[in-house]
Structure formats: structure tokens, C-alpha cells
Amino acid sequence: MSASKTPPARVLLEVKDLAQHFGGLKAVDQVNLTIHEGEIVSVIGPNGAGKTTFFNVLTGVYPGTRGQILFNGQELRGMAGHDIVAIGVARTFQNIRLFAHMTALENVMVGRHTRTHQFLLGPLLRTAAFKNEEKAVEVMAKELLEFVGLKSLGNELAKNLPYGAQRKLEIARSLASEPKLLILDEPTAGMNPTESQDLVALVRKVRERGVTVLLIEHQMRVVMDISDRVFVFDYGVKIAEGKPREVVANARVIEAYLGKEGAS
């Protein structure tokens, strides 16, 4: 099934036989896949196919029941969520999870946590090192806000931002940790076509920064438009992968989406 071409670039993420079971429920099972540096890869599948659970295992929210997740050759399973961020995997959430009572700028600054070091003594004594680091964090956060197009909204509380802006702010926050792999969970959910277009452009811009992107996406138009490759999940299992056009033509994929009749 898999595309049998020469790999376009270095392998960034390699998932081997990954499973996440909840009691008898196999939310994710026997997932094998590879993501290369610089790709934009989409995960699609019907509701309940285990896509978000898969992301949650990748980012350490769930421990995983079996298998391996190799990121740059390093095992992610068993690693704490914040350590996974530290080695270069950041994510956004299906139902937006911003720090509601912090400003947009502060949200992004929080995202910088793993790349900064000042602990209690620095801030207490207002040392030069602390001031420099704060300055740098603020500059970078502003740059990121500008990057996602929220420059003027930096002092707004996150909860007061419009929906589309909140999605973008989440992306800015994750980018602040300088990830190598950015995982986006339904970034266009609830957006109108114009907003979606906007977001697609943003995702491309993210890739141009050298960040590999893995996303869950429901809008097929977006998937076709943006993805280098697509993985299809159903009942916790990866049932297909390939270039967008190939995948859409795949019988099992059509079956998964439309049922048996649709496939025949």
C-alpha cells in the first residue's frame, strides 16, 4: 500500500506497532507509520477512528499500551508530556485550550518555557541574565504573533479573542517552543472557507520555517490542498496511506467513509 518511492528526506518520526487500549476498547492498534522532515501529513478518518487518541499517545497524554514512537531515533513512549515538547514536538487541541485569563502575548511566552531557563533567583533579583531572557522571550513572542497575523491583539485576554484568532494563537504558542514537529488537531474545525484558506496558508508558512506538520483534518478540500501525504484511520487502525489523490481513490477508504454500498 505505502508509496514505494525513494524517501524525500530524513525520517523524523517513526511509529511502530503502536497501540492504545482502554480496557477492551482498542482505540489505537497496530499503527505503523513514518513521517519525514519537511512534510505536511494529514490524518483523516471517520469520527471515533482514533485519530485524536493517536495524537494523545504521541504527545504523552496517554501512555500507549504497546509499540514504539521514535522521534529522531529517540523513544517518546514513557516520556512526560513536557519533555516531549522539549525535544521538539508541539501540538494544538481539537477544542481550543488557551490560557483564558492571560493575554495573547503571554500565551505565546508560556510556549517558550522549554527554551528558557531563568528560575526563582533570576526574577527575584532581576538579574541582567533574567532581563535579557525576558526581553528575548517577549521579542520572539511578538514576532510569532505577527507571524500568525495577531500582532495587534497581543494585549487582549485569550478568552476575548475571536474564534479564528484563538486557533492561530494556539499555533503561535506551540511554535514558541521551536518544535521540529507540529501536531495540529483539526485546525480548521468550525471555520468558514475563507478562514480555512487563511489557515492553510499559515500552515504552509509554518513548513517554510522548517517545521514538519502532522494534522488531523476533516475538510477534504483542505486535505487535498495542503497534504504531501495522507494517513487514513478507521477503528483505531491505519487502513491506508499515500498521496492525497491515491488515498481518495482507495476502496477501503471509501468504504470506511461511506459504508459498504458506497464502495461497491
How far apart, in whole angstroms, are the C-alpha atoms of residue 89 and residue 82?
Answer: 9
User: What residues from 125 to 184 belong to the interface with other proteins (CB under 8 A)?
Assistant: 126, 130, 133-134, 137-138, 142, 151-152, 154-155, 157, 173-174, 176-177
Give the shortest CB-46-to-other proteins separation in angstroms: 18
Phi-psi category of residue 38: left, alpha or beta, with phi > 0 → left and psi -120 to 50 → alpha: left
Residue closer to other proteins by CB (options 134, 198) is 134
Residue closer to other proteins by CB (options 151, 252) is 151
Q: Is 101 in the site for other proteins (CB under 8 A)?
A: yes
Residue closer to other proteins by CB (options 89, 247) is 89
Residue closer to other proteins by CB (options 174, 250) is 174
Interacting span for other proteins (CB under 8 A) from 42-50, 67-75, 89-97, 190-198: 89-97
Residue closer to other proteins by CB (options 133, 234) is 133
Figure out which of the listed residues 123, 162, 210, 262 binds other proteins, where binding follows CB under 8 A: 123
Give the shortest CB-216-to-other proteins separation in angstroms: 13
Query: What distance, in Å, lies between the first and last C-alpha atoms of the chain?
Result: 20
Interface map 25-54 toward other proteins (x if CB under 8 A): ---------------------------x--
Question: DSSP states of the chain as a string?
Answer: ----S--SS-EEEEEEEEEEEETTEEEEEEEEEEEETT-EEEEE-STTSSHHHHHHHHTTSS--SEEEEEETTEE-TT--HHHHHHTTEEE--SS----TTSBHHHHHHHHTGGG----SHHHHHT-HHHHHHHHHHHHHHHHHHHHHT-GGGTTSBGGGS-HHHHHHHHHHHHHTT--SEEEEESTTTT--HHHHHHHHHHHHHHHHTT-EEEEE---HHHHHHH-SEEEEEETTEEEEEE-HHHHHH-HHHHHHHH-HHHH-
Residue 239: what residue type? I
Q: Is 81 in the site for other proteins (CB under 8 A)?
A: yes
Figure out which of the listed residues 4, 47, 95, 264 binds other proteins, where binding follows CB under 8 A: 95
User: What residues from 201 to 260 belong to the interface with other proteins (CB under 8 A)?
Assistant: none
Give the shortest CB-92-to-other proteins separation in angstroms: 9
Binding residues for other proteins, rule CB under 8 A, total: 55
Q: For binding to other proteins (CB under 8 A), which residues are involved?
A: 52, 56, 59-61, 80-86, 90-91, 93-95, 97-103, 105-106, 109-114, 116, 118-120, 122-124, 126, 130, 133-134, 137-138, 142, 151-152, 154-155, 157, 173-174, 176-177
